[in-house]
Amino acid sequence: NPWGQCPVNRNCRDKFGDGSCDRECMAPGCLRDGLDCLKDRGHCNPGHIQYCRDHYGNSHCEQGCDSAPCGWDGSDCFANQAPQWAKGTLVLHTKLPHQRSGFSNSSLFWALSVLLQTPVKLRASAPMSANRNLFDFDPSQLASMLTQSSPADSVSYSSLLFLQVDNRPCSRLQTTCFPYATEAASFLRATTMLRPPSFP
């Protein structure tokens, strides 16, 4: 339950991401009311979206993509600032098949960054059988999968992605910081529980 840290009587689950700002749900433990209280969230110019997806995190700064709704260009425009990673690692179980060469699918990371309003970077990935449940693994097992070079499952129809949450844009927009990766994970889980996921 992503709202485990939030007092039940506030009903923040029902108010998450409903478009109206509920101040009693703004605490990080209440998942920031699904960012409903962000003033003037803005949107990414529809004509830029595909471009920003394609150029996300390619180490070149695209000014037109350097905003929260456009995914912060994967922090490409923060190159002269030291990374400020959230504590911990965000682990995502995706239906995408594992690719030994690494994920070149910037579109997925762009979509996650737009949801969180803060960029994520791929740290590592590991294959995983699609019928395994991420929550069956304890943290030490996940940690060893992160460092394993030869994966246990030879055939995989899904993957675990180990992601880092980058808080560099916080210096420009403080409302979207995730000091801990677990907060970002709860936020994503809440989003996928309440809205059918539009990403794999």
User: With binding defined as CB under 5 A, does residue 33 bind Ca ion?
Assistant: yes
Query: Are the C-beta atoms of 166 and 75 separated by less than 8 Å?
Result: yes
Q: Which window, 75-83, 149-157, 158-166, 179-187, contacts Ca ion (CB under 5 A)?
A: 75-83
User: What is the residue whose two structure tokens read 């239906």?
Assistant: 95
User: With binding defined as CB under 5 A, does residue 73 bind Ca ion?
Assistant: yes
User: With binding defined as CB under 5 A, does residue 166 bind Ca ion?
Assistant: no
User: With binding defined as CB under 5 A, does residue 58 bind Ca ion?
Assistant: yes
Q: Which window, 76-84, 88-96, 120-128, 159-167, contacts Ca ion (CB under 5 A)?
A: 76-84
* Min separation Cβ 59 and Ca ion, Å: 7
User: With binding defined as CB under 5 A, does residue 22 bind Ca ion?
Assistant: yes
User: With binding defined as CB under 5 A, does residue 76 bind Ca ion?
Assistant: yes
Binding site for Ca ion (CB under 5 A): 15, 18, 22, 33, 36, 55, 58, 60, 62, 73, 76
